[in-house]
Amino acid sequence: MSTPVLELRGLGRTYGKGETRVESLIGIDLTVAAGELLAVMGPSGSGKSTLLMLAGGLDAPTTGQVLVEGTEITGLSRRRQAALRRRSVGYVFQDLNLIPALTAVENAALPLELDGTSVRKARATALAALAEIGIEGLADRFPDEMSGGQQQRVAIARALVGERRLVLADEPTGALDSVTGEAVLRVLRARCDAGAAAVLVTHEARHAAWADRVVFLRDGRLVDDTGRQSEAESLLAKDVRG
């Protein structure tokens, strides 16, 4: 079996001390393989967003380890962590995703340029990333010239630009209507089917259902898991077709 794209081992995060101590996450073990879309559900305050921050190296765990493509990021220097984030991990948030002063292609090229790629090469790679999800026609538009759904698709293109294979998405469809939200999830699903790995935090079951596997968090613990499904023809065979 190949190395998982993301692996969380015994992950815990505690905020505060003494009386005000809050255990935000407790003993989380999770792996996400290439080609896999994992959804994380749970009520507000259950630790969903904390999990995503830790997985992306934006916050440090109190206990446990985070491995991205086999490299433990928890022990790395800040500089190397930042480099790993730029090269391996992409983020999609509910809003504030794109930089308003940059066009779609410039937004998508940004992580590569920050990592030292030449402007010309970064632009070509970013155009390819937009083309992969069928929005190369939006390349020269600024964020305020695009709909919310188009912006989120650009954000996904940026998250997966170049060699990056891991997308961490926090409520990426939160501000979108149901049809537009679905279009964004189709893109995320398609990128995973093409070999990327993604963690999707959502409170909407309808969106989580696009994932291969759904886990539930409550009070910082994993309480439930739909498990991995290889080929799910189960439903039509049993429940619906009778």
Considering the rule CB under 8 A, would residue 177 count as an interface residue with other proteins? no
Q: Which is nearer to other proteins, 91 or 216 (CB)?
A: 216
Taking each helix axis from N to C end, the angle separating 104-114 and 119-132, rounded to the nearest 10 degrees, works out to 130
* 219 phi/psi in degrees, rounded to 5: 50, 40
Any residues with CB less than 8 A from the CB of 145 and at least 6 apart, and which? none
Give the tokens for residue 152.
Answer: 């989120």
* 30 phi/psi in degrees, rounded to 5: -155, 145
Considering the rule CB under 8 A, would residue 206 count as an interface residue with other proteins? yes
Tell me which stretch binds other proteins (CB under 8 A): 142-150, 155-163, 168-176, 207-215: 207-215
> Any idea which residue has 């959502």 for tokens?
202
Q: Which of 54, 68, 105, 208 binds other proteins (CB under 8 A)?
A: 208
Q: Which is nearer to other proteins, 62 or 226 (CB)?
A: 226
Give the whole-angstrom CA distance, residue 72 versus residue 232. 34
Considering the rule CB under 8 A, would residue 204 count as an interface residue with other proteins? yes
Q: Which is nearer to other proteins, 17 or 241 (CB)?
A: 241
User: Mask 78-117, x = binds other proteins (CB under 8 A)?
Assistant: ----------------------------------------
Residue 168's closest CA among 124, 202, 125? 202
Q: Which of 10, 43, 75, 137 binds other proteins (CB under 8 A)?
A: 43
Give the whole-angstrom CA distance, residue 200 versus residue 92. 9
List interacting residues with other proteins (CB under 8 A).
43, 186, 189, 204-206, 208-211, 214, 216, 218, 223-227, 229, 232, 234-236, 239-242
